[in-house]
Structure 1
């Protein structure tokens, strides 16, 4: 039981890494689409991201279940089943896969956080421009240069 649970846990962790790679790549595409004000591309990317977030939730649930199964098989509380605890009991190849996936996941999450912050900044700037424009219109300012 523990070998199968460990294999499943490792597989799910690697699948999560792939999902976050895809999310990170989409965030890069979204950042570029926002810079270009390509609303249609942003909408398409948002739909893809939403689907991946739902898939990520399912993967996280499956990963937790595999982790719980492994904790039962090893007789430890699930909260204590860390990468370090796995490294103490698993074969070196599995440990190497888990460590590589964990390291890449950490890197991907940091990159994703930075990209999402840049996207939020672009959106905030665009909203500020709209707010100033609407404020000018509400104040009766002529926003069109008629000297053309």
Structure 2
């Protein structure tokens, strides 16, 4: 399935409210809703993301959400189990479990054709509490892979 036309790609991948990530590009942490100025009306409104940008946000949101957290909203399987590892040491075994749980979460995302690469890296030597979840995924309807990095702190800190 290939969608070269931006409108067809947006129809395939969807639309959502645009999030503004305060970290560096490609590193998804601390999101806020982005707004935009409607010049014709002189009013501010929420911005919308479409196409690949929507999927990029969806992946980050899925991984930042604890599995089961959205059960009251009717989505008991949404999210990832890697949050269960908070408090575990930043060692190879823990990083492998994080990778397993992330891959399980990504299997639920219908817009991902396949995961090309997934790694969980300690951000310091010696390893501290934070790891980088680095992903390369093949998006349906796209030739180029989507690269995304999502941080995860084993201490539970979000700062």
**Normalization by structure 2: what TM-score?**
0.26
Structure label with greater radius of gyration? 1
**Normalization by structure 1: what TM-score?**
0.28
Which structure carries more strand by proportion?
Answer: 2
